[in-house]
Homo-oligomer: A and B are copies of this chain.
């Protein structure tokens, strides 16, 4: 799910039509069963990979070994994931998606002032996963996940792509530093607006 910080946020959210899950037809029931099977495959592969990563570096784990561990065919693997790394990126995104779906409905002012703290709170709940990535030469996957959440697709015009890329980088810089500093509290009143003012050049501010 794309994290949107600017004016288009409300437009995009309102354009998503949410169909109620009750009163399913026969075809819908069939789809639901398929979805559950699909979720099981993803869950098995993800948990299998996390277990293997506690035993050896990610680079030494191969697809066959993971499929054996997860009880899933190679076809199922490649139907859902481009690579081993893709499993971890999708899992990181799933960890923040549920939170963001609710959080993004907040009024603008609250959204901006609480975003950093609440995002980090989500990652703190998955501290074991984060440590596993950072101790397993896979820290770059956190970056890829954050960039995927903050950026639009390849058809985005440069005028919009650059600010989004800069924002993605800024959020990643914050999260990465927070991890390096032990996943503790942020400095008081640290909000997205505060970050933006901190990185700007304060020419107007008188020297003390």
Whether A169 is near chain B, meaning CB under 8 Å from some CB there, is yes
Are A5 and B201 CB-contacts (below 8 A) given A161-B177, A170-B169, A181-B158? yes
Whether A71 is near chain B, meaning CB under 8 Å from some CB there, is no
Whether the Cβ atoms of A161 and B181 lie closer than 8 Å is yes
Whether the Cβ atoms of A201 and B108 lie closer than 8 Å is yes
Residues of B contacting A127 in the complex (Cβ-Cβ under 8 angstroms): none
Whether the Cβ atoms of B201 and A187 lie closer than 8 Å is no
For residue A159, which residue of chain B has the nearest CB?
A: B187
Whether A12 is near chain B, meaning CB under 8 Å from some CB there, is no
Whether the Cβ atoms of B169 and A112 lie closer than 8 Å is no
Whether the Cβ atoms of A170 and B161 lie closer than 8 Å is no
- Which positions 148-178 of chain A face chain B at CB distance < 8 Å? 158-159, 161-163, 165-174, 176-178
Whether A21 is near chain B, meaning CB under 8 Å from some CB there, is no
Whether A186 is near chain B, meaning CB under 8 Å from some CB there, is yes
A199 to chain B, nearest CB (A): 4
Are A163 and B112 CB-contacts (below 8 A) given A5-B201, A181-B158, A202-B7? no
Per-residue CB contact flags for chain A residues 49-86 toward chain B (1 = under 8 Å, else 0) read 00000000000000000000000000000000000000
Per-residue CB contact flags for chain A residues 168-203 toward chain B (1 = under 8 Å, else 0) read 111111101110010000110010110111111111
Residues of B contacting A17 in the complex (Cβ-Cβ under 8 angstroms): none
15 pairs, A vs B, C-beta closer than 8 Å: A5-B199, A6-B201, A108-B203, A158-B186, A159-B187, A161-B177, A162-B198, A167-B170, A167-B198, A169-B169, A169-B173, A169-B176, A172-B172, A192-B201, A196-B201
> In the complex, given contacts A6-B201, A162-B195, A166-B177, what are 4 additional A-B residue pairs having Cβ atoms less than 8 angstroms apart?
A163-B195, A167-B170, A172-B172, A196-B196
